[in-house]
Chain A
Amino acid sequence: QSVLTQPPSASGTPGQRVTISCSGSSSNIGSNYVHWYQQLPGTAPKLLISRNNRRPSGVPDRFSGSKSGTSASLAISGLRSEDEADYYCATWDDSLSGWVFGGGTKLTVL
């Protein structure tokens, strides 16, 4: 059972917009930045969104993040087949004095 809750799966057709949610509490999302990682099959995770909504260099602007209260969301617009991957939210937890990850969402492009 992960501290951060994500839906286990999401799907969409090419060109569609998909959102992935991440729910936490006041000790984690509620008081710290949320970051998102993309993990393509068989590869290491890659930073996708930092500090709630910042895209690292090289990340397409089709990816965006937002946060409100104790929840956060990742949105992917103009869905492409290469977006098929696992997506994880993560943040620091003040109560645990450590990092917590969501359980991951497997995105399928139909």
Chain B
Amino acid sequence: QVQLVQSGTEVKKPGASVKVSCKASGYTFTSYYIHWVRQAPGQGLEWMGIINPSGGSTTYAQKFQGRVTMTRDTSTSTVYMELSSLRSEDTAVFYCARAVEMAAAHDFWGQGTLVTVSS
């Protein structure tokens, strides 16, 4: 069965970076894009960007340009999202989700990773 398993809770200080992983299984890793979506406490969903695991190409939301980096490791079927220069407003749950095309629906989601930014 399809699974996206994310890394665990992180606590970071302002100015630091965080790297969240998303390990895929149960399907052909390179056949589906992986999106990253953020949800601040009590808030809605916010799209951060997308990576094509096949070639590694990425598209980032303008809001996160320069601060986010998405990479993948095809040998372990894992996608990574690194967010730098963290501030308190970045405290959120980060989700990975797969889609067959860039504009296609996200049909499976990871369980989410809570990142808390606090001094």
What chain A residues lie within 8 Å of B104 (beta carbons)? 50
Question: In chain B, what residue has the closest Cβ to A100?
Answer: B47
Contact of B109 among A2, A45, A91 (CB under 8 A): A45
Does any Cβ of B come within 8 Å of A51's Cβ? yes
What range describes how many residues of B lie at the interface?
20 to 34
A69-110 at interface with B (beta carbon < 8 Å): 86, 88, 90-92, 96-104
What range describes how many residues of A lie at the interface?
20 to 34
In the assembled complex, the CB of A63 is this many whole angstroms from the nearest CB of chain B, namely 14
What chain A residues lie within 8 Å of B95 (beta carbons)? 44-45
What chain A residues lie within 8 Å of B110 (beta carbons)? 44
Contact of B103 among A2, A46, A92 (CB under 8 A): A92
B contacts, CB < 8 Å to A: 35, 37, 44-47, 49-50, 59, 61-62, 95, 97, 102-112
Given contacts A44-B112, A47-B107, 17 further A-B contacts (CB under 8 A): A2-B44, A32-B103, A33-B103, A37-B45, A44-B95, A45-B37, A45-B45, A45-B109, A88-B45, A90-B47, A91-B103, A96-B61, A98-B47, A99-B47, A99-B103, A101-B46, A102-B44
